[in-house]
Amino acid sequence: MINKVNIGYFIIGTDTDIGKTYVSSLIFKSLKDYNIGYYKPFQTGCYLENENLVPLDPKFLCDFSEVTLKDEMTTYLFKTPVSPHLASELENIPIIMENIFKQWNTLSSKYQTTFIEAAGGIYVPIIRNQYFMFDFIKDLNIPVILVCSTKVGSINHTMLTINFLKEKNIPVQGVIFNNYTGEFYEADNIKVVLETSKIKNHIVIKNGDEIISQEKLISFLCK
């Protein structure tokens, strides 16, 4: 049993394709022997297989972790690979947040902790001009795990996101730096982000890593 973990963590990225699903998969694979859940409420860019829509990110996570894909892992599936609000409009499938929160309550009563993976970044619209990803996080009232890169430009993207989260009073559990390749400037980018943000809790994932050690991950989640 993992002690002191939150009921859930919201995995958000500084940008689209920053590696949220990869990081989620590493976390899930490391902790799959514990009572944990995974939830991707909005999945766009799905494809058809045997007349059923397949959610790309949950399927990747399950294949990566060698577990079975479950219907409980998603709520809204869209074919169009765009923001949830636009996919909803184009496909005429209204997003009803009550359905999302109902599923969240089911998962949080079933699992010790559940990792929710965002669609895109913090300011992605869920319902046009009404409801954004940061509104969803605030309503859930769970901390954020921020996934960012270490490449050139990452300081700006990461600090803007962290400062916005602080402005919205959304707690940051920690930062996961993804796809570290060992370039000379990457270590300094990490140092600047940690010193400027005053966030100490972090993990660095190297390019090609296939798992995060349980000890390191549990320490990260329980701080």
What gap in Å lies between CA 7 and CA 65, rounded to an integer? 21
- Spell out a b/e string for 121-137, using b for 16 or more CB atoms within 10 Å of the CB, else e: bbebbbbeeebbbbebb
- Mean pLDDT on 102-121: 96
Let me know the angle formed at the C-alpha of 95 by 99 and 110, rounded to the nearest 5 degrees: 25
- Mean pLDDT on 72-87: 98
**Is there a catalytic annotation at residue 198?**
no
| pTM for this model (two decimals) | 0.95
Beta bridge partners of 147: 13, 176
pLDDT (0 to 100) of residue 2? 66
Cβ neighbours for 33, distance < 8 A, ≥ 6 positions apart: none
Q: Where are the domains of the chain?
A: 8-222
What gap in Å lies between CA 148 and CA 167, rounded to an integer? 19
In percent, the amount of the chain with pLDDT more than 70 equals 99
Catalytic residue among 4, 20, 29, 40: 40
Q: Is the pLDDT of residue 1 over 90?
A: no
Supply the CATH classification number for the domain 8-222.
Answer: 3.40.50.300
> Which residue is it, tokens 């923001």?
83
Q: Is the pLDDT of residue 80 over 70?
A: yes
If pLDDT is split at 50, 70 and 90, which confidence band does 15 have?
A: confident
